[in-house]
Amino acid sequence: MTKSTLFTLLVFVSAFSFSQEGWNWPEDPNMKTQAMEKQAYYKLLIAQSKHEEAMDPLNWLYENNPNLNPSIYIQGVDCLEEVIKKTTDKARKERLQDSLLWMFDQRIEYFDNDASTMDRKAYEAFKMHYRTPAKYAMLFDIYSKAYEMNGPEISTFNLNPYMLLAKQYYLSAPDEMPAEKVLDIHTQISDIIEIKRKNGENASKLDKEQSKTDAWLSSIPGILTCEFIEEKLVPKFKENPTDLNTAKKIYKYSSEAKCTDKPYFLQAVERLFQEQPSAALAISIGNRHVASGEPSKSLQFYEKGEELASTDTEKYETLIGQAVAHSKLGNKSRSRAMAYEALSAKPGSKEAYNLIGNLYFTSFDDCKGEQSQVQDRAIFIAAYDMYNKAGNTAQMNASKAQFPSIEDIFNEGKEEGDPITIGCWINTTVNLQRR
């Protein structure tokens, strides 16, 4: 490039920079000219992918005009990342990595938007050091500050890394990162994901982040067990039953560790529901009461959950829960009605169709009139149709084995395919089939 071309570009870029707001040029004319030239020159070098050379004018600005503009640190980070990629010398690479993090600290010192800068610093630090145990303490300090400064505004890309860091730190130094702290971090991330979801952020993306975060926790050997919950969390909850934070942990970790059959789970989740009612909690409580043989109690919570449901999934879970509870109470007609309502929330649900099939299959003794084998056994055809929709081959075969025989059909003067209306509570019509 000729000197005249370079000069023209320098003048153009400097004039452009000078015209922008937010540029803090030195008051001294000579220093100002040098700063403008350095700023223009490093941009020119970056445009030519000469990142190593661009660091010289950038370093001059860091030393002589550190508050010029946030862009000198933003572009400095970009430059150093490229230089680091090409550096094979371990000691030099570590120095460059330290310099890269220092640039974020400079942005925080001289410019606003500290939370956002710390957010980005955490992610850059993680990328560089997540495989280096000696750096975990530093990384944890950075992430703690980033989460403290940003709260629910922390970037989605910093959710999963924090959990992975907690896992790796615990595995390498459990005295420094105890199991309780790992669980605290998991809870912190999960709470933020829930807030983000309520604030309208991409639900699918957040679900993936939650799944990955849960997976990291579950992959830590021995940390998420019923024994750990009983030893570390339950005593704290018994000592202070109003401690919602501990109740929330017992609820979440018992679900993860499959300890929901423990009495402390129900105690914690019911306490949590009192203070922070939600459809998810109502469903969990309802499920536990059904499993423990208390369907009447479960109905109370499923019905409350239906009122609180905000998604089709929650709506479905509360409705199918009511259907199951009514089934166990012997309210077959009501159970079927709730199962069909559940199908409106989740069309094609195999669980709902299977439940209706069971209701029909077990109603033979209740509904038989003992006047006609064809009429009485048509109830199994109704059950078969429901099992067919559920894809339950075993119960389809079991139902078919109870169909009327061809002799019964012939003796009663009927033919296969004839419509048969079933009375009793079922009150439906099926097409006659033989076993």
* pLDDT computed for residue 408 by the predictor: 87
The answer, yes or no, to whether residue 296 has pLDDT greater than 60, is yes
The answer, yes or no, to whether residue 433 has pLDDT greater than 70, is yes
Task: Please check whether residue 61 is in contact with residue 90, taking contact to mean a CB–CB distance below 8 angstroms.
Answer: no
Stated as kind and residue range, the H or E segment containing 430 is strand 428-431
Residue 370 counted as domain residue: yes
Residue 277 counted as domain residue: no
Residue 368 counted as domain residue: yes
Residues 6+ apart with CB under 8 A from 70: 22, 107, 110, 111, 113
pLDDT band at 21 (very low <50, low <70, confident <90, very high): low
- Of 8-22, 42-56, 138-152, 338-352, least confident by mean pLDDT is 8-22
The answer, yes or no, to whether residue 261 has pLDDT greater than 70, is yes
- Per-residue pLDDT tens over the stretch 362-407: 999 999 988 899 999 999 999 999 999 999 999 999 999 999 999 9
Instruction: Identify the sign of the CA torsion 182, 184, 185, 189.
Output: positive
Q: Which residue range forms the structural domain that includes residue 380?
A: 364-431
Instruction: Identify the sign of the CA torsion 21, 24, 29, 33.
Output: negative
The pTM (predicted TM-score) of the whole model is: 0.65
Residues 6+ apart with CB under 8 A from 353: 339, 343, 386, 387, 389, 390
- Of 21-25, 262-266, 357-361, least confident by mean pLDDT is 21-25
Domain count, the chain: 1
Q: Rounded mean pLDDT of 199-209?
A: 92
pLDDT band at 2 (very low <50, low <70, confident <90, very high): very low
Exposed, middle or buried by CB within 10 Å (0-12, 13-18, 19+), for 209? buried
* pLDDT computed for residue 5 by the predictor: 43
Task: Please check whether residue 338 is in contact with residue 364, taking contact to mean a CB–CB distance below 8 angstroms.
Answer: no
Residue 228 counted as domain residue: no
Of 85, 14, 4, 17, give the one whose Cα is nearest residue 52: 85
The answer, yes or no, to whether residue 4 has pLDDT greater than 50, is no
* pLDDT computed for residue 395 by the predictor: 97
Quick one: tokens of 146?
A: 């980033």
Residue 47 counted as domain residue: no
Quick one: tokens of 134?
A: 């000696």
Residue 135 counted as domain residue: no
Mean pLDDT of all residues belonging to the chain: 91
Local structure of residue 405 (DSSP, 8 states) = P
pLDDT band at 145 (very low <50, low <70, confident <90, very high): very high
- Per-residue pLDDT tens over the stretch 49-70: 999 999 999 999 999 999 999 9
* pLDDT computed for residue 1 by the predictor: 43
Residue 380 counted as domain residue: yes
Quick one: tokens of 182?
A: 């790992």
- Per-residue pLDDT tens over the stretch 305-361: 999 999 999 999 999 999 999 999 999 999 999 999 999 999 999 999 999 999 999
Residue 21 counted as domain residue: no
* pLDDT computed for residue 364 by the predictor: 94
Q: For residue 337, how many other CB atoms are within 10 A of its CB?
A: 15
Residues 6+ apart with CB under 8 A from 186: 163, 166, 213, 214, 217, 252
